[in-house]
Amino acid sequence: MSALLSVENLRVEIAARDRRLTAIDDISFTIGAGEILGVVGESGAGKSVTGTAILGLLEPPAALAGGRIAFAGRRIDTLDEESMRRLRGKEIAAVFQDPLTSLDPLMTVGEQLVETMLTHLPIKRKEAFARAEDLLRMVGLPAPRERLQAYPHALSGGMRQRVVLALAFCCNPRLIIADEPTTALDVSVQAQILDVLRRMCRENGTAVMLVTHDMGVIAEATDRVAVMYAGRLAEIGPTRALVEEASHPYTRGLMASIPSLTRRRDTLVQIPGAMPRPDAPVSGCAFHPRCPSAEARCRSERPPAFAVEASQVACWLADPARRSVSA
Ligand code: SF4
Ligand code: MG
């Protein structure tokens, strides 16, 4: 099965005054067509940087420093700015935390949808307006015909994010990168927006990279999860496997810090200690200063990703050599 998105050995560095800091340290993963991949981790773990790198929107002092990104079989990390812009409008859409960053305050909701469609689709203005109204209905905006005439400031935060979803879907993208799409919203609205995103993806076969620090969102909305820590991938695997029996001690810590998976809160981490920052990297396994299972080797040798059933786990505990000894 060929992946829709394939990220291989991605490295992102940040130019500091006298050296280069590593923000993303050799991560690899894929997203299949129509799949929802959650990307979770503490603030500063590199989730947003990864999404930004895929979108080709890294800005100095951050820059790609290695690896490759392929979309639908084509390498995209080497595309020129114009080709990348076309790809972003049509095939890869982005949804960010703050809907106002995606909406033009001076254009009505209808104009924004119609202009986006006219730019990227072979469609007439009249059809585009009809489709815009349909899209607003699909994302659950009440009175969609009237809302076409509304300006973003006249809408609530939740309604604006519904409009952003309509914009994201209006050109039938194959992949949506959604970075904390519900974090800025009231808890009661978060679930609704997530439901819309998930339903529209299922109906349209759209894949999603859903960046979040909320394990409740992960458990409810994703097919697979990638757990990031200090710019690296700690673990990636089917959501059910990670929720029910995570292999990596960090993932287990994340799970344990959640009183209830149905309770949406932003309490990701109650693991003692802090994640190392790019300007103060640690040797060996980046999690070793906080890991309850750390041993001597963890402090000096970086664990590769080991296969554990359908998951990949970057932890020495998952080393098959070791597992066969202890079995
Ligand atoms: Fe803990 Fe060692 Fe595994 Fe890192 S490699 S998570 S320090 S046991
Ligand atoms: Mg972020």
For residue 139, is it within any domain? no
Q: What is the mean pLDDT of residues 82-111?
A: 94
Residue 201 alpha carbon to ligand 2 centre in Å = 22
**Residue 69: which CATH number?**
3.40.50.300
Q: What is the mean pLDDT of residues 86-102?
A: 93
Q: In this predicted complex, what is the ipTM? A: 0.98
> Can you tell me which atom of ligand 1 is nearest the CA of 316?
5
Query: What does the block give as tokens for 30?
Result: 């894929």
For residue 306, is it within any domain? yes
**What is the number of the ligand closest to the CA of 212?**
2
**What is the number of the ligand closest to the CA of 315?**
1
Ligand 1 residue neighbourhood (C-beta within 6 Å): 248-249, 285, 287-288, 291, 293-294, 298, 303, 315-317
For residue 114, is it within any domain? no
Check: CB of residue 234 under 8 Å from CB of residue 287: yes
Residue 226 alpha carbon to ligand 2 centre in Å = 14
DSSP-derived pairing of the beta strands 224-229 and 36-40? parallel
Mutate to test the pocket of ligand 1, among 233, 316, 322, 323 (most ligand atoms within 8 A of CB): 316
Query: pLDDT-derived band of residue 1, with 50, 70 and 90 as boundaries?
Result: low
Q: What is the pLDDT of residues 185-241, one digit of tens each?
A: 988 899 999 999 999 999 999 999 999 988 888 988 999 999 999 999 999 999 999
Check: CB of residue 211 under 8 Å from CB of residue 47: yes
Query: What does the block give as tokens for 65?
Result: 């420093």
Strands (E), the chain: 5-15, 20-31, 36-40, 62-71, 74-75, 92-95, 175-179, 207-212, 224-229, 232-238, 306-308, 311-313
For residue 319, is it within any domain? yes
Mutate to test the pocket of ligand 1, among 298, 299, 301 (most ligand atoms within 8 A of CB): 298
**What is the number of the ligand closest to the CA of 183?**
2
C-alpha dist (Å) from residue 315 to 21, 46, 100, 305:
23, 19, 40, 7
> Can you tell me which atom of ligand 1 is nearest the CA of 285?
4
Q: What is the pLDDT of residues 111-170, one digit of tens each?
A: 999 999 999 999 999 999 999 999 999 999 999 999 999 999 999 999 999 999 999 999
**What is the number of the ligand closest to the CA of 45?**
2
For residue 260, is it within any domain? yes
Residue 311 alpha carbon to ligand 2 centre in Å = 24
Nearest-CA residue for ligand 1 atom 7 is 288
For residue 313, is it within any domain? yes
Residue 66 alpha carbon to ligand 1 centre in Å = 25
Q: What is the pLDDT of residues 244-255, one digit of tens each?
A: 999 999 999 888
For residue 155, is it within any domain? no
Strands (E), 189-257: 207-212, 224-229, 232-238
Query: pLDDT-derived band of residue 258, with 50, 70 and 90 as boundaries?
Result: low
> Can you tell me which atom of ligand 1 is nearest the CA of 250?
6
**Could you give the number of structural domains in the chain?**
1
Check: CB of residue 173 under 8 Å from CB of residue 54: no
Tell me the residues surrounding ligand 2 (ion) with CB < 5 Å: 48
- Give me the domain span that covers residue 302: 5-91+173-274+281-326
For residue 311, is it within any domain? yes
